[in-house]
Amino acid sequence: MDKLTVIKIGGNVIDDPNALKRFLMAFAGLAGAKLLVHGGGKIATQVADKLGIQTTMVEGRRITDQPMLDVVTMVYGGLVNKQIVAKLQALDVNAIGLTGADGSTVLAKKRPVKDIDYGMVGDIEEVDSGQIQFFLRQDLTPVFAPITYSAAGELLNTNADTMASAIAVDMAIHDNVTLVYCFEKKGVLKDPTDDNSVINELTPALYAEYKAAGTINKGMIPKLDNAFKALENGVSKVIICHADELAKAVNQGAGTTLRS
C-alpha cells in the first residue's frame, strides 16, 4: 500500500499572498504522493460585491443561489485554482487543477431544504478514487476546488473540509492516507486567544469532554467531526496544524493529531 498525503488549505491562508507562498513551498517539498483541496477565501465575496450580488452567510456557511454559484465556480474553480496550479508548476510540481465534475471525481446531491435553504450546495455521495489514482500514477498532483456535480448535471458548492475528508476516506481503500487540515492557527486550541495553547492529541473521548466544557466550539466542531469521521472510515492519521508548520507536522509532529 502506497502512502498518500491529502492536504486541505483554508481560505484565510489563500487570502494572504505571503502565507500562501510559504505554504505552497512547503507543500512542494513534501515527499511522496500528495493531493491538495483548497477553500475559496474572501475573493468570492469581493467579486460578488463588484457584480452587485448579495452574500448571505448562515453559521459561517454561504447561501448559494444561482448567481452566487456562478461566482464561486468562477473564483474557486477558475481564478483561485489556476493561480495555485501555476504557482506549483513554478515549484516543479506538475499540478492538475480539478473540480469534482472533472473526470467525475466527486459526485454530490443538492442539499435538501430543512430549517435552512442553502441553495446550490452539495452533499457528497461518491468519490471516484480510481480516477484520482490514475492522475497520481501519471505523476500529476491533483488540486481540487470545492465544487462538485450532481447526477442531473448541476454544479454544486461544497464545503472544502468535507471534500478533503471524503476524498481521503475513498483513497484509503488503496493507500495509507494521512489527512492534514492547514489553517491560520497552530492546531486545536484550549484558548482561542492563545495560539500556544495547542491540544497536542485528541481522541473521541477527549473531544467529547472539550465540547461539553465549551473549550471546543463554533467552527472547529464541523472540522473535527469531518476529521474523526475520516479516522473511523480508514484514514490512518489526521493532523490539524498551522500552514507554516505543514512539513514539520507531516514529518516530525506539530499541531493537533487525532487518534481513534
Q: For 38-59, how does the pLDDT look when each residue is reduced to its tens digit (9 = 90+)?
A: 988 789 999 999 999 988 888 7
**pLDDT digit string, tens, across residues 218-245:** 778 888 988 999 999 999 999 999 999 9
Q: In this predicted structure, what is the pLDDT of residue 230?
A: 92
15-19, 53-57, 132-136, 216-220: which range is least confident on average?
216-220
| Banded model confidence at residue 28, pLDDT cuts 50, 70, 90 | very high
Which pLDDT value is given to residue 196? 87
Establish how many alpha carbons lie within 13 A of residue 14's alpha carbon, considering only the half-sphere containing its beta carbon.
24
Angle at the Cα of 158 (from 209 to 40), degrees rounded to 5? 95
**pLDDT band at residue 75 under the 50/70/90 scheme:** very high
pLDDT tens across 180-209, in order? 999 999 999 988 888 889 999 999 999 999
Is 103 annotated among the ligand-binding residues?
no
Radius of gyration of the chain (CA): 17
Percent of the chain with pLDDT over 90: 78
| CATH number for the domain harbouring residue 18 | 3.40.1160.10
97 annotated as belonging to a binding site for a ligand = no
Q: Is the pLDDT of residue 122 over 90?
A: yes
Output DSSP code: residue 226: H
Q: String of b and e for 226-242 (b: at least 16 CB within 10 Å)? A: bbbbbbeeebbbbbbbb
How far apart (Å, rounded) are the C-alpha atoms in residues 50 and 45? 9
> Which pLDDT band, with edges at 50, 70 and 90, does 119 fall under?
very high
Neighbour tally for 123: CB within 10 Å: 17
User: How far is it, in rounded angstroms, from Cα 111 to Cα 14?
Assistant: 26
- Expressed as residue numbers, the domain containing 174 is 2-258
- Residues 115-122: what's their mean pLDDT? 92
Per-residue pLDDT, 1: 55
Q: How far apart are CA 186 and CA 255, in angstroms?
A: 5
234 carries a ligand binding annotation: no
Q: What is the dihedral of CA 140, 184, 63, 154, to 10 degrees?
A: 0
Q: Helix, strand, coil shares of the chain as percentages rounded to 5?
A: 40, 25, 35
In the chain, how many H helices and how many E strands?
10, 14
Concatenated DSSP letters of 140-186: -EEEE-SEEE-TTS-EEE--HHHHHHHHHHHHTTTEEEEEEEEESSS
Q: pLDDT-derived band of residue 143, with 50, 70 and 90 as boundaries?
A: very high
Annotated binding-site residue? 62: yes
Q: How many domains does the chain have?
A: 1
What pTM was estimated for this model as a whole?
A: 0.94
- pLDDT score for 218: 78
Q: Is 153's pLDDT higher than 80?
A: yes
Question: Which CA distances in Å does 201 have to 20, 26, 98, 125, 238?
Answer: 26, 23, 33, 30, 10
The average pLDDT across 25-47 equals 93
